[in-house]
Structure 1
Amino acid sequence: MDAVIRKTVHAADGEQLSLYTVTPQNESFGASGVVILHGAGAGDKERHLPFAEDFAAHGHPAVALDFSGHGESTGELVNLSLRRRRDQAAAVIDEVFGTERPLVLVGFSMSGQTVADLVDLYGKRVTAIVLCAPGIYGKDAWDVPFGAGFTEMIRRPGSWCASQALDTYARFDGRALLVVPEQDAVIPEGVTELLRTALATHADFSELRLAGASHQLGIWLADQSRARSDIISTLLLPRCSAQVLETGLQSTGFPADLLST
Protein backbone atom coordinates (compact mmCIF):
# COMPACT_ATOMS: atom_id res chain seq x y z
CA MET A 1 0.00 0.00 0.00
CA ASP A 2 1.45 3.35 -1.05
CA ALA A 3 1.81 6.09 1.57
CA VAL A 4 2.57 9.79 1.61
CA ILE A 5 5.50 10.79 3.84
CA ARG A 6 5.73 14.41 4.94
CA LYS A 7 8.27 16.09 7.19
CA THR A 8 6.75 19.10 8.94
CA VAL A 9 7.39 21.40 11.90
CA HIS A 10 4.81 21.96 14.61
CA ALA A 11 4.96 24.76 17.18
CA ALA A 12 4.29 23.45 20.69
CA ASP A 13 5.48 24.01 24.25
CA GLY A 14 7.55 26.99 23.13
CA GLU A 15 9.50 24.82 20.66
CA GLN A 16 9.51 23.93 16.98
CA LEU A 17 8.98 20.17 16.87
CA SER A 18 10.04 18.22 13.79
CA LEU A 19 7.86 15.27 12.81
CA TYR A 20 7.13 12.77 10.11
CA THR A 21 3.55 12.01 9.15
CA VAL A 22 2.97 8.89 7.09
CA THR A 23 -0.48 8.72 5.52
CA PRO A 24 -1.75 5.63 3.69
CA GLN A 25 -3.36 6.17 0.32
CA ASN A 26 -6.25 4.01 1.50
CA GLU A 27 -6.98 3.83 5.20
CA SER A 28 -8.26 0.67 6.83
CA PHE A 29 -11.83 0.82 8.13
CA GLY A 30 -11.76 2.39 11.60
CA ALA A 31 -8.03 3.10 11.29
CA SER A 32 -6.19 4.26 14.40
CA GLY A 33 -3.63 7.03 14.55
CA VAL A 34 -0.25 5.54 15.45
CA VAL A 35 2.12 7.68 17.52
CA ILE A 36 5.75 6.51 17.72
CA LEU A 37 7.79 8.01 20.57
CA HIS A 38 11.57 7.72 20.76
CA GLY A 39 13.67 7.25 23.86
CA ALA A 40 16.19 9.47 25.64
CA GLY A 41 19.79 10.39 24.78
CA ALA A 42 20.40 10.25 21.04
CA GLY A 43 16.87 9.02 20.26
CA ASP A 44 15.09 10.66 17.33
CA LYS A 45 12.30 10.16 14.80
CA GLU A 46 14.56 9.08 11.93
CA ARG A 47 15.09 5.57 13.24
CA HIS A 48 11.33 5.08 13.54
CA LEU A 49 10.33 6.16 10.04
CA PRO A 50 10.42 2.56 8.71
CA PHE A 51 8.09 1.49 11.55
CA ALA A 52 5.71 4.34 10.71
CA GLU A 53 5.74 3.27 7.05
CA ASP A 54 4.90 -0.29 8.09
CA PHE A 55 1.87 0.85 10.06
CA ALA A 56 0.74 2.88 7.06
CA ALA A 57 1.12 -0.21 4.89
CA HIS A 58 -1.52 -1.78 7.15
CA GLY A 59 -3.80 1.21 6.55
CA HIS A 60 -3.07 3.18 9.74
CA PRO A 61 -1.73 6.77 9.55
CA ALA A 62 1.34 7.26 11.72
CA VAL A 63 3.43 10.06 13.18
CA ALA A 64 6.96 10.04 14.60
CA LEU A 65 8.31 13.17 16.29
CA ASP A 66 11.50 14.60 17.71
CA PHE A 67 11.04 15.80 21.27
CA SER A 68 12.70 19.14 22.01
CA GLY A 69 16.47 18.85 22.24
CA HIS A 70 16.39 15.83 19.92
CA GLY A 71 16.87 15.42 16.19
CA GLU A 72 15.68 18.42 14.20
CA SER A 73 13.52 20.00 16.90
CA THR A 74 14.53 23.15 18.74
CA GLY A 75 15.40 23.37 22.41
CA GLU A 76 18.03 21.97 24.72
CA LEU A 77 17.90 18.44 26.07
CA VAL A 78 18.80 19.65 29.56
CA ASN A 79 15.55 21.64 29.64
CA LEU A 80 13.33 18.72 28.65
CA SER A 81 11.36 16.82 31.30
CA LEU A 82 8.90 13.94 31.46
CA ARG A 83 6.06 16.42 31.79
CA ARG A 84 7.22 18.34 28.70
CA ARG A 85 7.54 15.10 26.73
CA ARG A 86 3.90 14.35 27.54
CA ASP A 87 2.80 17.87 26.62
CA GLN A 88 4.75 17.90 23.35
CA ALA A 89 3.44 14.51 22.27
CA ALA A 90 -0.12 15.56 23.12
CA ALA A 91 0.21 18.75 21.07
CA VAL A 92 1.35 16.73 18.05
CA ILE A 93 -1.46 14.19 18.52
CA ASP A 94 -4.07 16.94 18.66
CA GLU A 95 -2.63 18.61 15.56
CA VAL A 96 -2.26 15.46 13.46
CA PHE A 97 -5.14 13.26 14.64
CA GLY A 98 -7.71 15.70 16.04
CA THR A 99 -10.03 14.76 18.87
CA GLU A 100 -11.88 11.67 17.66
CA ARG A 101 -9.54 9.17 16.02
CA PRO A 102 -8.57 6.18 18.21
CA LEU A 103 -4.90 6.01 19.10
CA VAL A 104 -2.15 3.40 19.16
CA LEU A 105 0.84 4.55 21.22
CA VAL A 106 4.30 3.06 20.61
CA GLY A 107 6.94 4.00 23.18
CA PHE A 108 10.64 3.19 23.24
CA SER A 109 12.72 3.23 26.45
CA MET A 110 11.95 6.47 28.34
CA SER A 111 8.71 6.75 26.41
CA GLY A 112 7.39 3.82 28.40
CA GLN A 113 6.58 6.55 30.92
CA THR A 114 5.33 8.96 28.26
CA VAL A 115 2.88 6.40 26.89
CA ALA A 116 1.42 5.98 30.39
CA ASP A 117 1.13 9.75 30.78
CA LEU A 118 -0.73 9.93 27.47
CA VAL A 119 -3.04 7.07 28.45
CA ASP A 120 -3.93 9.10 31.55
CA LEU A 121 -4.64 12.09 29.30
CA TYR A 122 -6.59 10.40 26.49
CA GLY A 123 -8.27 7.56 28.38
CA LYS A 124 -10.40 5.17 26.33
CA ARG A 125 -9.33 6.84 23.12
CA VAL A 126 -6.09 4.82 23.42
CA THR A 127 -7.03 1.38 22.15
CA ALA A 128 -3.57 -0.22 22.01
CA ILE A 129 -0.05 0.33 23.30
CA VAL A 130 3.35 -1.09 22.35
CA LEU A 131 6.14 -0.74 24.90
CA CYS A 132 9.65 -1.44 23.58
CA ALA A 133 12.31 -1.94 26.29
CA PRO A 134 10.27 0.53 28.38
CA GLY A 135 11.40 2.57 31.35
CA ILE A 136 9.24 4.12 34.05
CA TYR A 137 10.11 6.76 36.65
CA GLY A 138 9.11 7.84 40.14
CA LYS A 139 6.51 10.56 40.57
CA ASP A 140 9.07 12.97 42.07
CA ALA A 141 11.05 12.96 38.80
CA TRP A 142 8.16 13.90 36.49
CA ASP A 143 8.64 17.68 36.60
CA VAL A 144 12.42 17.76 36.97
CA PRO A 145 14.39 19.07 33.94
CA PHE A 146 16.91 16.54 32.72
CA GLY A 147 19.76 18.93 33.49
CA ALA A 148 18.66 19.58 37.09
CA GLY A 149 19.41 16.35 38.92
CA PHE A 150 17.02 14.08 37.02
CA THR A 151 19.66 11.42 36.38
CA GLU A 152 20.60 11.23 40.04
CA MET A 153 16.94 10.89 41.04
CA ILE A 154 16.16 8.03 38.68
CA ARG A 155 19.32 6.13 39.65
CA ARG A 156 18.21 5.79 43.24
CA PRO A 157 17.62 2.08 43.84
CA GLY A 158 13.98 1.18 43.37
CA SER A 159 12.88 4.74 42.55
CA TRP A 160 10.76 3.41 39.68
CA CYS A 161 8.56 1.47 42.13
CA ALA A 162 6.72 4.73 42.84
CA SER A 163 5.86 5.40 39.19
CA GLN A 164 2.29 6.40 38.42
CA ALA A 165 2.71 4.42 35.20
CA LEU A 166 2.19 1.16 37.10
CA ASP A 167 -1.27 2.19 38.24
CA THR A 168 -2.11 3.44 34.76
CA TYR A 169 -1.05 0.21 33.07
CA ALA A 170 -2.87 -1.90 35.65
CA ARG A 171 -6.10 -0.05 34.72
CA PHE A 172 -5.55 -0.18 30.97
CA ASP A 173 -7.93 -2.63 29.29
CA GLY A 174 -6.98 -2.27 25.62
CA ARG A 175 -4.44 -4.24 23.59
CA ALA A 176 -0.96 -4.19 25.15
CA LEU A 177 2.26 -5.54 23.69
CA LEU A 178 5.50 -5.58 25.70
CA VAL A 179 8.60 -5.94 23.50
CA VAL A 180 11.71 -7.04 25.40
CA PRO A 181 15.22 -7.40 23.92
CA GLU A 182 17.26 -10.51 24.63
CA GLN A 183 19.87 -8.39 26.42
CA ASP A 184 19.04 -5.08 28.13
CA ALA A 185 21.85 -3.41 30.05
CA VAL A 186 19.78 -0.27 30.71
CA ILE A 187 16.37 -1.29 32.08
CA PRO A 188 16.47 -3.29 35.34
CA GLU A 189 14.66 -6.61 35.21
CA GLY A 190 12.62 -5.42 38.19
CA VAL A 191 11.11 -2.68 36.03
CA THR A 192 10.16 -5.13 33.30
CA GLU A 193 8.61 -7.52 35.82
CA LEU A 194 6.49 -4.78 37.40
CA LEU A 195 5.30 -3.67 33.97
CA ARG A 196 4.54 -7.26 32.99
CA THR A 197 2.40 -7.73 36.08
CA ALA A 198 0.61 -4.40 35.66
CA LEU A 199 -0.18 -4.97 31.99
CA ALA A 200 -1.53 -8.44 32.68
CA THR A 201 -4.10 -7.10 35.15
CA HIS A 202 -6.79 -5.98 32.68
CA ALA A 203 -5.21 -5.57 29.25
CA ASP A 204 -5.31 -8.00 26.35
CA PHE A 205 -1.62 -8.59 26.91
CA SER A 206 1.22 -10.23 24.97
CA GLU A 207 4.97 -10.16 25.37
CA LEU A 208 7.55 -10.54 22.61
CA ARG A 209 11.21 -11.27 23.23
CA LEU A 210 13.60 -10.28 20.45
CA ALA A 211 16.49 -12.69 20.08
CA GLY A 212 19.79 -10.93 19.35
CA ALA A 213 18.50 -7.46 20.27
CA SER A 214 19.80 -5.08 22.94
CA HIS A 215 18.27 -2.00 24.55
CA GLN A 216 18.59 0.16 21.43
CA LEU A 217 15.53 -1.39 19.85
CA GLY A 218 14.75 1.60 17.65
CA ILE A 219 18.09 1.26 15.86
CA TRP A 220 17.83 -2.52 15.72
CA LEU A 221 14.29 -2.58 14.35
CA ALA A 222 15.11 -0.02 11.65
CA ASP A 223 17.06 -2.77 9.88
CA GLN A 224 14.73 -5.64 10.76
CA SER A 225 11.73 -5.39 8.45
CA ARG A 226 10.49 -8.89 9.27
CA ALA A 227 10.62 -8.21 13.00
CA ARG A 228 8.69 -4.94 12.57
CA SER A 229 6.09 -6.71 10.49
CA ASP A 230 5.76 -9.46 13.07
CA ILE A 231 5.31 -6.93 15.88
CA ILE A 232 2.52 -5.19 13.99
CA SER A 233 0.86 -8.46 13.04
CA THR A 234 0.98 -9.65 16.65
CA LEU A 235 -0.46 -6.34 17.84
CA LEU A 236 -3.39 -6.65 15.44
CA LEU A 237 -4.25 -10.18 16.59
CA PRO A 238 -5.94 -11.20 19.86
CA ARG A 239 -3.36 -12.33 22.41
CA CYS A 240 -4.42 -15.95 22.19
CA SER A 241 -3.63 -15.90 18.46
CA ALA A 242 -0.02 -14.80 18.92
CA GLN A 243 2.48 -17.45 17.96
CA VAL A 244 6.20 -18.12 17.99
CA LEU A 245 7.62 -16.47 14.89
CA GLU A 246 10.49 -17.67 12.74
CA THR A 247 12.63 -14.55 12.71
CA GLY A 248 14.01 -14.90 16.23
CA LEU A 249 10.89 -13.18 17.57
CA GLN A 250 9.54 -15.22 20.46
CA SER A 251 6.03 -14.76 21.82
CA THR A 252 5.24 -15.33 25.48
CA GLY A 253 2.23 -14.44 27.51
CA PHE A 254 0.18 -14.99 30.63
CA PRO A 255 -2.59 -17.58 30.96
CA ALA A 256 -5.97 -16.37 29.74
CA ASP A 257 -7.45 -16.27 33.24
CA LEU A 258 -4.97 -13.52 34.16
CA LEU A 259 -6.16 -11.41 31.24
CA SER A 260 -9.87 -11.40 32.06
CA THR A 261 -11.44 -8.06 33.00
Structure 2
Amino acid sequence: MPGGARVTAAVGTFTLEADGERLACTVVEPAAPVRRGAALLMHGAGSSGKHRCLPLAEELAAAGCRSVVFDFAGHGESTGDLGQLSLARRARQARAVLARYAPDGPLLLAGFSMSGQTVADLLGDPDIGGRVQALALGAPAAYAREVRELPFAAPEFTATLRTPGSWRSSSAFETFAAFDGRAVLVLPETDEVIPAEVTDALDAALRTRAAYTRLTLPGADHQLGGWLSTHPEHRALVAAALLSEA
Protein backbone atom coordinates (compact mmCIF):
# COMPACT_ATOMS: atom_id res chain seq x y z
CA MET A 1 0.00 0.00 0.00
CA PRO A 2 1.16 3.58 -0.62
CA GLY A 3 3.28 5.06 2.11
CA GLY A 4 3.58 1.81 4.07
CA ALA A 5 1.15 0.76 6.78
CA ARG A 6 -2.47 1.90 6.46
CA VAL A 7 -4.10 3.87 9.27
CA THR A 8 -7.76 4.37 10.14
CA ALA A 9 -9.06 7.77 9.01
CA ALA A 10 -11.71 10.06 10.49
CA VAL A 11 -14.13 11.81 8.12
CA GLY A 12 -15.60 15.22 8.95
CA THR A 13 -18.10 17.28 6.94
CA PHE A 14 -18.14 21.08 7.02
CA THR A 15 -19.65 24.07 5.26
CA LEU A 16 -17.49 26.95 4.03
CA GLU A 17 -18.81 30.39 3.05
CA ALA A 18 -16.85 31.47 -0.02
CA ASP A 19 -17.38 33.22 -3.36
CA GLY A 20 -20.94 34.07 -2.34
CA GLU A 21 -21.82 30.40 -1.83
CA ARG A 22 -21.93 27.74 0.87
CA LEU A 23 -19.49 25.03 -0.17
CA ALA A 24 -19.89 21.51 1.20
CA CYS A 25 -16.51 20.15 2.25
CA THR A 26 -15.26 16.83 3.57
CA VAL A 27 -11.94 16.47 5.36
CA VAL A 28 -10.44 13.02 5.81
CA GLU A 29 -7.99 13.02 8.71
CA PRO A 30 -5.56 10.12 9.09
CA ALA A 31 -5.52 8.66 12.59
CA ALA A 32 -1.73 8.74 12.51
CA PRO A 33 -0.52 11.38 10.03
CA VAL A 34 2.85 10.46 8.57
CA ARG A 35 3.04 13.15 5.88
CA ARG A 36 3.15 16.92 6.23
CA GLY A 37 0.64 19.01 4.36
CA ALA A 38 -2.56 17.93 2.67
CA ALA A 39 -4.15 16.75 -0.54
CA LEU A 40 -6.98 18.59 -2.31
CA LEU A 41 -9.04 16.49 -4.72
CA MET A 42 -11.41 18.19 -7.17
CA HIS A 43 -14.26 16.70 -9.17
CA GLY A 44 -15.24 17.38 -12.76
CA ALA A 45 -18.20 19.15 -14.37
CA GLY A 46 -21.80 18.17 -15.07
CA SER A 47 -23.37 15.86 -12.49
CA SER A 48 -20.10 15.17 -10.74
CA GLY A 49 -19.44 15.94 -7.09
CA LYS A 50 -17.08 15.36 -4.19
CA HIS A 51 -18.53 11.90 -3.58
CA ARG A 52 -16.60 10.68 -6.63
CA CYS A 53 -13.31 11.88 -5.15
CA LEU A 54 -13.93 10.64 -1.62
CA PRO A 55 -12.71 7.04 -2.08
CA LEU A 56 -9.34 8.25 -3.41
CA ALA A 57 -9.18 10.81 -0.57
CA GLU A 58 -9.73 7.98 1.90
CA GLU A 59 -7.01 5.96 0.17
CA LEU A 60 -4.56 8.83 0.59
CA ALA A 61 -5.59 9.36 4.21
CA ALA A 62 -5.08 5.67 4.92
CA ALA A 63 -1.49 6.23 3.82
CA GLY A 64 -1.17 9.10 6.28
CA CYS A 65 -2.03 12.09 4.05
CA ARG A 66 -4.73 14.53 5.22
CA SER A 67 -7.19 14.89 2.33
CA VAL A 68 -9.89 17.40 1.44
CA VAL A 69 -12.72 17.21 -1.09
CA PHE A 70 -15.56 19.65 -1.76
CA ASP A 71 -18.50 20.34 -4.05
CA PHE A 72 -18.00 23.28 -6.39
CA ALA A 73 -20.93 25.73 -6.48
CA GLY A 74 -23.93 24.26 -8.28
CA HIS A 75 -22.80 20.71 -7.52
CA GLY A 76 -23.76 18.20 -4.86
CA GLU A 77 -24.54 19.76 -1.49
CA SER A 78 -23.14 23.22 -2.27
CA THR A 79 -25.33 26.19 -3.12
CA GLY A 80 -25.29 27.99 -6.44
CA ASP A 81 -26.38 27.77 -10.04
CA LEU A 82 -24.15 25.56 -12.17
CA GLY A 83 -24.77 27.76 -15.19
CA GLN A 84 -23.29 30.73 -13.33
CA LEU A 85 -20.14 28.87 -12.38
CA SER A 86 -16.98 29.62 -14.35
CA LEU A 87 -13.39 28.42 -14.50
CA ALA A 88 -12.32 31.54 -12.60
CA ARG A 89 -14.91 30.93 -9.88
CA ARG A 90 -13.83 27.30 -9.60
CA ALA A 91 -10.28 28.45 -8.95
CA ARG A 92 -11.46 31.02 -6.38
CA GLN A 93 -13.50 28.42 -4.55
CA ALA A 94 -10.61 25.96 -4.51
CA ARG A 95 -8.30 28.66 -3.14
CA ALA A 96 -10.82 29.41 -0.38
CA VAL A 97 -10.99 25.73 0.58
CA LEU A 98 -7.19 25.58 0.74
CA ALA A 99 -7.05 28.76 2.82
CA ARG A 100 -9.45 27.22 5.35
CA TYR A 101 -8.38 23.59 5.48
CA ALA A 102 -4.77 23.57 4.23
CA PRO A 103 -3.39 27.09 4.75
CA ASP A 104 0.26 26.08 4.85
CA GLY A 105 2.61 23.19 4.27
CA PRO A 106 3.15 20.96 1.23
CA LEU A 107 0.25 20.29 -1.13
CA LEU A 108 -0.86 17.45 -3.36
CA LEU A 109 -3.43 18.50 -5.96
CA ALA A 110 -5.69 16.10 -7.85
CA GLY A 111 -8.22 17.10 -10.48
CA PHE A 112 -10.58 15.13 -12.70
CA SER A 113 -11.74 16.29 -16.14
CA MET A 114 -12.50 20.04 -15.94
CA SER A 115 -10.51 20.23 -12.72
CA GLY A 116 -7.37 19.49 -14.71
CA GLN A 117 -7.58 23.16 -15.67
CA THR A 118 -8.31 24.09 -12.05
CA VAL A 119 -5.15 22.29 -10.94
CA ALA A 120 -3.21 24.36 -13.48
CA ASP A 121 -4.84 27.57 -12.23
CA LEU A 122 -3.87 26.77 -8.63
CA LEU A 123 -0.37 25.76 -9.66
CA GLY A 124 0.01 29.10 -11.43
CA ASP A 125 -1.01 31.03 -8.30
CA PRO A 126 2.19 32.44 -6.72
CA ASP A 127 0.79 31.90 -3.21
CA ILE A 128 0.02 28.23 -3.88
CA GLY A 129 2.25 26.95 -6.66
CA GLY A 130 5.42 26.87 -4.58
CA ARG A 131 3.74 24.58 -2.06
CA VAL A 132 2.68 21.95 -4.59
CA GLN A 133 4.87 18.86 -4.42
CA ALA A 134 2.72 16.49 -6.46
CA LEU A 135 -0.28 16.52 -8.75
CA ALA A 136 -2.58 13.97 -10.32
CA LEU A 137 -4.72 14.64 -13.39
CA GLY A 138 -7.55 12.25 -14.20
CA ALA A 139 -8.77 12.42 -17.82
CA PRO A 140 -7.95 16.15 -17.71
CA ALA A 141 -9.35 18.91 -19.86
CA ALA A 142 -7.76 22.21 -20.92
CA TYR A 143 -9.67 25.36 -21.78
CA ALA A 144 -8.97 28.49 -23.81
CA ARG A 145 -7.80 31.48 -21.80
CA GLU A 146 -10.61 33.51 -23.33
CA VAL A 147 -13.35 31.56 -21.52
CA ARG A 148 -11.87 31.77 -18.03
CA GLU A 149 -14.31 34.39 -16.70
CA LEU A 150 -17.35 33.31 -18.74
CA PRO A 151 -20.28 31.61 -16.97
CA PHE A 152 -20.78 28.10 -18.27
CA ALA A 153 -24.29 29.07 -19.43
CA ALA A 154 -22.94 31.88 -21.63
CA PRO A 155 -23.32 31.12 -25.36
CA GLU A 156 -19.76 32.37 -25.90
CA PHE A 157 -18.42 29.68 -23.57
CA THR A 158 -20.02 26.87 -25.56
CA ALA A 159 -19.13 28.46 -28.90
CA THR A 160 -15.46 28.70 -27.94
CA LEU A 161 -15.37 25.09 -26.73
CA ARG A 162 -16.79 23.99 -30.08
CA THR A 163 -14.14 25.92 -32.00
CA PRO A 164 -11.47 23.44 -33.17
CA GLY A 165 -8.15 24.00 -31.46
CA SER A 166 -9.42 26.69 -29.07
CA TRP A 167 -7.91 24.73 -26.16
CA ARG A 168 -4.40 25.45 -27.45
CA SER A 169 -4.41 28.86 -25.73
CA SER A 170 -4.90 27.25 -22.31
CA SER A 171 -2.50 28.30 -19.57
CA ALA A 172 -2.28 24.66 -18.49
CA PHE A 173 0.45 23.70 -20.94
CA GLU A 174 3.07 26.25 -19.91
CA THR A 175 2.17 25.83 -16.24
CA PHE A 176 2.58 22.06 -16.31
CA ALA A 177 5.75 22.31 -18.40
CA ALA A 178 7.33 24.41 -15.64
CA PHE A 179 6.35 22.03 -12.82
CA ASP A 180 9.23 20.00 -11.40
CA GLY A 181 7.44 17.96 -8.73
CA ARG A 182 5.72 14.58 -9.07
CA ALA A 183 3.04 14.40 -11.76
CA VAL A 184 0.67 11.53 -12.45
CA LEU A 185 -1.51 11.48 -15.56
CA VAL A 186 -4.34 8.98 -15.12
CA LEU A 187 -6.17 8.04 -18.31
CA PRO A 188 -9.07 5.73 -19.09
CA GLU A 189 -8.76 3.04 -21.72
CA THR A 190 -11.48 4.87 -23.65
CA ASP A 191 -12.21 8.58 -23.30
CA GLU A 192 -15.27 9.72 -25.21
CA VAL A 193 -14.99 13.31 -23.92
CA ILE A 194 -11.39 14.57 -24.12
CA PRO A 195 -9.84 14.73 -27.62
CA ALA A 196 -6.65 12.69 -27.95
CA GLU A 197 -4.70 15.76 -29.11
CA VAL A 198 -5.51 17.52 -25.82
CA THR A 199 -4.24 14.53 -23.86
CA ASP A 200 -1.10 14.36 -26.02
CA ALA A 201 -0.36 18.05 -25.43
CA LEU A 202 -0.79 17.68 -21.67
CA ASP A 203 1.41 14.58 -21.71
CA ALA A 204 4.16 16.49 -23.53
CA ALA A 205 3.97 19.38 -21.06
CA LEU A 206 4.17 17.11 -18.01
CA ARG A 207 7.20 15.30 -19.42
CA THR A 208 9.20 18.54 -19.61
CA ARG A 209 10.44 18.77 -16.01
CA ALA A 210 8.24 16.72 -13.70
CA ALA A 211 8.96 13.31 -12.22
CA TYR A 212 6.25 11.90 -14.44
CA THR A 213 4.08 8.79 -14.40
CA ARG A 214 1.40 7.97 -16.96
CA LEU A 215 -1.20 5.39 -15.98
CA THR A 216 -3.82 3.96 -18.34
CA LEU A 217 -6.61 2.06 -16.59
CA PRO A 218 -7.99 -0.88 -18.59
CA GLY A 219 -11.78 -0.87 -18.83
CA ALA A 220 -12.17 2.67 -17.48
CA ASP A 221 -14.10 5.47 -19.17
CA HIS A 222 -14.02 9.25 -18.77
CA GLN A 223 -15.81 9.13 -15.40
CA LEU A 224 -12.61 8.13 -13.65
CA GLY A 225 -13.55 9.26 -10.15
CA GLY A 226 -16.60 7.02 -10.09
CA TRP A 227 -14.71 4.19 -11.76
CA LEU A 228 -11.90 4.32 -9.20
CA SER A 229 -14.44 4.15 -6.38
CA THR A 230 -15.36 0.62 -7.48
CA HIS A 231 -11.85 -0.54 -8.39
CA PRO A 232 -9.80 -0.47 -5.19
CA GLU A 233 -6.71 -2.05 -6.71
CA HIS A 234 -6.42 0.73 -9.31
CA ARG A 235 -7.26 3.36 -6.71
CA ALA A 236 -4.35 2.12 -4.60
CA LEU A 237 -2.11 2.27 -7.69
CA VAL A 238 -3.00 5.92 -8.31
CA ALA A 239 -2.45 6.82 -4.64
CA ALA A 240 0.90 5.04 -4.61
CA ALA A 241 2.06 6.93 -7.70
CA LEU A 242 0.97 10.26 -6.23
CA LEU A 243 2.66 9.63 -2.88
CA SER A 244 5.83 8.13 -4.32
CA GLU A 245 9.07 9.67 -3.11
CA ALA A 246 10.95 8.50 -6.20
Relative to the length of structure 1, the TM-score reads 0.89
- Please tell me whether residue 105 in structure 1 is matched to residue 112 in structure 2: no
Residue in 2 that maps onto 1:189: 196
Counterpart among 41, 47, 51 of residue 42 in structure 1: 47
Residue pair 1:173, 1:203 contacting (<8 A) in 2 also: yes
**Where in structure 2 are the equivalents of 1:60-139 lying within 5 Å?**
60-98=65-103, 100-121=104-125, 122-139=128-145
CA distance in 2, matches of 1:143, 1:78: 12
The aligned amino acid for 2:94 is A
Secondary structure of the corresponding residue to residue 130 of structure 2: helix
CA distance in 2, matches of 1:179, 1:84: 25
Residue in 2 that maps onto 1:242: none
Secondary structure of the corresponding residue to residue 22 of structure 1: strand
Residue in 1 that maps onto 2:4: none
Shift of 1:123: 1.7
CA distance in 1, matches of 2:43, 2:118: 10
Q: Describe the shift of the 1:189–1:238 C-alpha distance in structure 2 as closer, same or farther (beyond 3 A).
A: farther
Aligned-pair RMSD on alpha carbons?
A: 1.0
Secondary structure of the corresponding residue to residue 154 of structure 2: helix
Shift of 1:40: 0.3
Residue pair 2:143, 2:169 contacting (<8 A) in 1 also: yes
Shift of 1:233: 1.1
Shift of 1:234: 2.0
Residue in 2 that maps onto 1:226: 233
The aligned amino acid for 2:182 is R
CA distance in 1, matches of 2:60, 2:237: 11
Residue pair 2:138, 2:187 contacting (<8 A) in 1 also: yes
Shift of 1:72: 0.4
Shift of 1:4: 1.1
Residue in 2 that maps onto 1:143: 149
The aligned amino acid for 2:87 is L
Residue in 2 that maps onto 1:14: 20
CA distance in 2, matches of 1:116, 1:158: 19
Residue pair 1:204, 1:238 contacting (<8 A) in 2 also: no
CA distance in 2, matches of 1:55, 1:32: 12
CA distance in 2, matches of 1:2, 1:238: 22
Counterpart among 52, 56, 61 of residue 56 in structure 1: 61
Deviation readout 1:42-98 (Å, 9 max, x if unpaired): 010012211111110000000110000000000000100000000000000110011
Greater CA drift, 141-150 or 105-114: 141-150
Secondary structure of the corresponding residue to residue 201 of structure 1: coil
Shift of 1:3: 1.1
Residue pair 2:23, 2:73 contacting (<8 A) in 1 also: yes
Residue in 2 that maps onto 1:214: 221
CA distance in 1, matches of 2:20, 2:244: 40
**Stretches of 4+ aligned residues off by more than 3 angstroms:** none
Shift of 1:238: 5.3
CA distance in 2, matches of 1:196, 1:103: 21
Relative to the length of structure 2, the TM-score reads 0.94
Secondary structure of the corresponding residue to residue 186 of structure 1: coil
